[in-house]
Amino acid sequence: MHLRPFRPDDLQTLYEIDQACFVPVISYTREELTGFIGHRHSQTWVAEENAEIAGFLIAHREPRKILHIVTIDVLKAWRRGGVGSLLMEAAEQWARDHDMRMIGLEVAHDNLSAQKFYAARGYRKVNEIEHYYADGSTAWAMVKELP
Ligand SMILES: CC(C)(COP(=O)(O)OP(=O)(O)OC[C@H]1O[C@@H](n2cnc3c(N)ncnc32)[C@H](O)[C@@H]1OP(=O)(O)O)[C@@H](O)C(=O)NCCC(=O)NCCS
């Protein structure tokens, strides 16, 4: 498994992975994904093995030295094999290299596996955001301060 930067011809595959990873109120449209990935303050890492994309992560640099994880998606068949950790390590290293002070993200209230994944990496819940998703459901904001 290795990481590489996004290439424009990845878009359809990343869209399909995002659709497979999230219910429709959370998954992004193609236009949203294109906008996030193409933003000048964004970074996208693609995890690939033998030319098969297993997952990806989009992060966005916010003001006040915060890196925001827009999404991290690992295909079901590849989960619990360290792909998510590889992607998060890349984002966290980028954040440290760019003098960020914190990484933040939102995770659905009922997404316990992702909450465990983040907690295992040192993220803590700081705030419950009601009506965060289009169906009115709640998200947790989680953060990790960087040394
Ligand atoms: C969350 C996600 C990115 C994790 O990716 P992954 O490749 O499975 O993660 P890793 O294999 O690197 O897991 C690292 C550690 O996180 C924890 N973890 C990961 N998935 C877990 C689960 N389902 N239940 C409990 N702990 C879990 C474990 O401590 C794991 O270490 P271990 O396997 O040695 O026990 C993946 O499950 C995913 O894409 N889910 C769907 C999309 C999603 O929910 N994204 C996050 C939205 S905010």
State whether the Cα torsion 56-104-70-97 is positive or negative: negative
Q: How far apart are CA 57 and CA 86, in angstroms?
A: 10
Three-class secondary structure of residue 42 per DSSP: strand
Mean pLDDT of 6-28: 95
Is the CB of residue 86 less than 8 Å from the CB of residue 117?
no
Judge if the beta carbon of residue 120 lies within 6 A of ligand 1: yes
| For ligand 1, mutation pick of 80, 87, 106 (most atoms within 8 Å of CB) | 80
For the chain, the structural domain boundaries read 2-103
pLDDT in tens, 76-118: 999 999 999 999 999 999 999 999 999 999 999 999 999 999 9
Residue 134 has pLDDT above 90, yes or no: no
pLDDT of residue 147: 87
β-strand pairing of 102-108 with 66-74: parallel
**Residues 24 and 50 sit within 8 Å (Cβ to Cβ):** no
Q: What is the pTM of this model?
A: 0.96
Distance CA 109, CA 78 (A): 23
> Which atom of ligand 1 sits closest to the CA of residue 26?
47
2-103 belongs to which homologous superfamily?
Gcn5-related N-acetyltransferase (GNAT) (3.40.630.30)
